[in-house]
Amino acid sequence: MRRMFLISIAATLVIAPAAGDAASSKRGSACPDGKVCIWTKKNFRGDREVIQKRGATNVSRKLNNKVTSVKNRSQGNVFLMDAKNGSTDDDYQCMFEPEYRDLDDPGFNNVISSVYRPGLEDPQPLC
């Protein structure tokens, strides 16, 4: 069964380059405007990664399958995927809130491997 998770709010997604396409930060619950942020612990604690670009972004090795909370401060839809490279052939979760303090609630805790924000011409996964 396909699980879907979509974050939809008014702002814009981009991913800061660091090691790969995601920028890591040690701590902090703040998430910059226009970004999507993921954390390893609930309530926006633990290691954080800031996602800034459109398209698929693989989560860093440090956060892969360890994401527990997320904020979408970007404009548009964001899909959290349980596979690398944002493949919609694998499970993803649709979410309709700008933030989730604990991904246990939608049943998608510690499985996220990539973040996908479709560009204007990209296909939209179904929710």
Break the chain into its structural domains and give their ranges.
6-117
**Is residue 30 left, alpha or beta, with left meaning phi > 0 and alpha meaning psi from -120 to 50?**
beta
Q: How far apart are CA 110 and CA 42, in angstroms?
A: 11
Report yes or no: 42 and 68 within 8 Å, Cβ to Cβ: yes
Average pLDDT over residues 17-36: 64
pTM above 0.95, yes or no: no
Return the pLDDT at 23: 52
Which residues are paired to 1 by β-bridges? none
Q: Are 55 and 14 in contact (CB under 8 A)?
A: no
CATH superfamily for domain 6-117: Crystallins (2.60.20.10)
Is the pLDDT reported for residue 81 higher than 80? Answer: yes
Q: Are strands 76-81 and 92-93 parallel, antiparallel or unpaired?
A: antiparallel
